[in-house]
Amino acid sequence: MDTLLKLKKVNLKYQTDKDTIKVLNDIDLITKKKDTISIVGESGSGKTSLIMLIGGLEKATSGKIYFQDQELTSLSEDEVSEIRRKHIGIVFQSFYLIPNYTAVENVALTLELNKLKNPEKQAKELLERFGLKNRFNNLPSQLSGGEQQRVAIARAIAMKPELILADEPTGNLDTENSIMISNILFEYVKDEGSSLIMVTHDPKLADKAKRKIKIKDGKIK
C-alpha cells in the first residue's frame, strides 16, 4: 500500500463567546507516496489550517488523520511531535530561523535534536547543495530573503522526511527567488521520493504539482 496520508471527515471549529466558527468541514484527502499536491483558494478559506492539522500543529475537532497507518488524532501531543520531528518537514512563509545561530547551526540543530552523527557536516552538505557554501557562518540578518528560505528548507528536509508541508513558501520572495525556491522543492522531492503538500497563491507554482486541490469555505471543491 503506497498511501502516505489519509484524512477522513476532518473538521476544525473554533468556539467564541457568541458563535462557532467552522474552519474546515468534512475534509477527505488521500496522499500517496511521491505525490506533489498544491492547495489553492482565497485567503481565509482554510488552506493554512489544513497544513497545520496535517503537521500536527493543530488538533482536529473531529475526524481522523492517518500518517503511515498511524492515527495521529488518537496520539498524545508528544507522540505526534516525535512523528513530525522524524518524518514531516515544514516550510513556512516566514523563515523562523534562530537569529543568533549561523546558517549551519540552524540546520544542524534539527540533526542534533534527533541525535544524528556529524550534524555540522550534514548541515554543510545540504546548504552547499542549495548554493549556500559561502554563507555557512552568516547569521539570518546577513542573508537575503531567498537565502533565508533556502536555509529554512534545508532545516526542514535535514531528516529526509517522507512528507514536506509548505505554507506559501515563496510568499515573501521576489520572482527570481520564488522560481529558485520552487525548483529546489520540486527537485528535492523528485530526487528523494518524498511527498509535497503546498499551499500557494501563485498559479504557476500550483500548476507544477501533480494534483491541485481547491478549498472554498472550508471544503475541498
Supply the pLDDT for residue 173: 87
pLDDT digits (tens, 9 = 90+) for 151-183: 999 999 999 999 999 999 998 888 988 898 999
pLDDT digits (tens, 9 = 90+) for 29-80: 999 999 999 999 998 899 999 999 999 999 999 999 999 989 999 999 999 9
pLDDT digits (tens, 9 = 90+) for 208-221: 999 999 999 999 98
Supply the pLDDT for residue 1: 57
pTM comes to: 0.92
Ordered domains of the chain (ranges, CATH): 3-98+159-220 (3.40.50.300)
Q: What is the 3-state secondary structure (H, E, C) of the chain?
A: CCEEEEEEEEEEEEECCCCEEEEEEEEEEEEECCCEEEEECCCCCCHHHHHHHHCCCCCCCEEEEEECCEEHHHCCHHHHHHHHHHHEEEECCCCCCCCCCCHHHHHHHHHHHCCCCCHHHHHHHHHHHCCCHHHCCCCHHHCCHHHHHHHHHHHHHCCCCCEEEEECCCCCCCHHHHHHHHHHHHHHHHHHCCEEEEECCCHHHHHCCCEEEEEECCEEC
Supply the pLDDT for residue 17: 84
Supply the pLDDT for residue 55: 95
pLDDT digits (tens, 9 = 90+) for 188-215: 999 999 999 999 999 999 999 999 999 9
Tell whether the model's pLDDT for residue 114 goes beyond 60: yes
